[in-house]
Chain A
Amino acid sequence: MSYVALKMLFGDRAKYLMLLCGLTFAVMLIVQQGSIFWGLMIWSQSSISNLNVPIWVTDPGIAQVEEVKPIADTAVDRVRSVPGVEWAVPLYKGLLRARLTNGEYHQITLTGLESSTLIGRPAEVLGGRFEDILQPDAVALDQWAVERMGGPTVVKVGTIFELNDKLARVVAIAKTQKSFTNVPVVYTTYERAIRYVPRERRTLAYVLAKPKDGVPVEEVTRRIRQETGLGAFTDEEFSWKTISWVLKNTGIGTNFGTTILLGFIVGMAIAGQTFYLFTVENLRQFGALKAMGASTLTLAWMILLQAFTVGLTGYGVGIGLATLFGFLTARGGGLPFVETWQLLLLVLIALLAICTFSALISIIKLARLEPAIVFR
Chain B
Amino acid sequence: MKAMSDDTQPAAVRARGIVKSFGTGDTQVTVLKGIDLDVYLGELLLLVGESGGGKTTLLSAIAGILDIDEGDIDVFGVPLSTLPAGKRTTFRGQTMGFIYQQFNLLPVLTAAENVAVPLLIQKAARPEALHRARIMLDRVGLGDRAEFLPKNLSGGQQQRVAIARALVNEPRLLICDEPTAALDGPNGQKIMELLREVGRSPDRCVIVVTHDSRIFHFGDRMANLTDGRIVGIERIKQEGTA
Interface residues of A (CB under 8 A from B): 1, 3-4, 7-8, 10-12, 284-285, 287-296, 298, 370-372, 374-376
Q: A12-B108, A285-B106, A294-B89 are in contact. List 18 more A-B contacts (CB 8 A).
A: A4-B109, A10-B108, A11-B108, A290-B65, A291-B92, A291-B98, A292-B92, A292-B118, A292-B165, A293-B89, A293-B121, A293-B122, A296-B86, A296-B89, A372-B60, A372-B66, A374-B100, A374-B104
A3 near B56 (CB under 8 angstroms)? Answer: no
Q: How far is the CB of A165 from chain B (nearest CB, A)?
A: 81
Q: Which of A3, A288, A293, A375 contacts B59 (CB 8 A)?
A: A375
A-B contact pairs, 30 of them (CB 8 A): A1-B121, A3-B126, A4-B117, A4-B120, A7-B108, A8-B106, A11-B107, A284-B102, A285-B104, A288-B100, A289-B117, A289-B121, A292-B92, A292-B98, A292-B118, A292-B121, A293-B93, A293-B121, A294-B89, A295-B86, A295-B89, A370-B66, A372-B56, A372-B66, A374-B100, A374-B102, A375-B56, A375-B59, A375-B60, A375-B101
A371 near B65 (CB under 8 angstroms)? Answer: yes
- CA–CA, A11 and B117, complex, Å: 16
With both beta carbons as reference points, the residue of chain A lying nearest to B108 in the complex is identified as A11
Q: Which of B60, B63, B108, B121 contacts A294 (CB 8 A)?
A: B121
Asked whether any CB of chain A lies closer than 8 Å to the CB of B94, the reply is yes
Residues of A within 8 A of B165 (CB): 292
How many residues of B sit at the interface, in one of the four size bands?
20 to 34
A293 near B56 (CB under 8 angstroms)? Answer: no
Q: How far is the CB of A69 from chain B (nearest CB, A)?
A: 69
B100 near A375 (CB under 8 angstroms)? Answer: yes
A3 near B66 (CB under 8 angstroms)? Answer: no
Interface of A is mostly: helix
Q: How far is the CB of A264 from chain B (nearest CB, A)?
A: 31
With both beta carbons as reference points, the residue of chain A lying nearest to B88 in the complex is identified as A293
In the A-B complex, the 9 residue pairs with the closest CB atoms? A293-B93, A11-B108, A371-B65, A288-B104, A372-B60, A372-B66, A375-B56, A294-B121, A292-B118
Within 8 A of A (CB), among B74-101: 86, 89-90, 92-94, 98, 100-101
With both beta carbons as reference points, the residue of chain B lying nearest to A1 in the complex is identified as B120
B90 near A295 (CB under 8 angstroms)? Answer: yes
Residues of B within 8 A of A8 (CB): 106, 108
Q: How far is the CB of A192 from chain B (nearest CB, A)?
A: 77
Asked whether any CB of chain A lies closer than 8 Å to the CB of B43, the reply is no
With both beta carbons as reference points, the residue of chain B lying nearest to A288 in the complex is identified as B104
Q: How far is the CB of A17 from chain B (nearest CB, A)?
A: 15
With both beta carbons as reference points, the residue of chain B lying nearest to A292 in the complex is identified as B118
Residues of B within 8 A of A289 (CB): 117, 121
- CA–CA, A353 and B118, complex, Å: 32
- CA–CA, A371 and B118, complex, Å: 15
- CA–CA, A370 and B89, complex, Å: 12
Residues of B within 8 A of A7 (CB): 106, 108-109, 113
Q: How far is the CB of A224 from chain B (nearest CB, A)?
A: 68
- CA–CA, A290 and B118, complex, Å: 10
- CA–CA, A372 and B118, complex, Å: 17
- CA–CA, A371 and B89, complex, Å: 10
B113 near A374 (CB under 8 angstroms)? Answer: no
Asked whether any CB of chain A lies closer than 8 Å to the CB of B177, the reply is yes
- CA–CA, A7 and B117, complex, Å: 12
Q: How far is the CB of B54 from chain A (nearest CB, A)?
A: 12
Q: Which of A3, A4, A293, A370 contacts B94 (CB 8 A)?
A: A293
Choose among B60, B86, B122 the residue with the greatest number of A CB atoms under 10 Å from its CB: B60
- CA–CA, A297 and B117, complex, Å: 16
Choose among A288, A290, A291, A372 the residue with the greatest number of B CB atoms under 10 Å from its CB: A291
- CA–CA, A194 and B165, complex, Å: 91
Q: How far is the CB of B141 from chain A (nearest CB, A)?
A: 22
- CA–CA, A11 and B105, complex, Å: 14
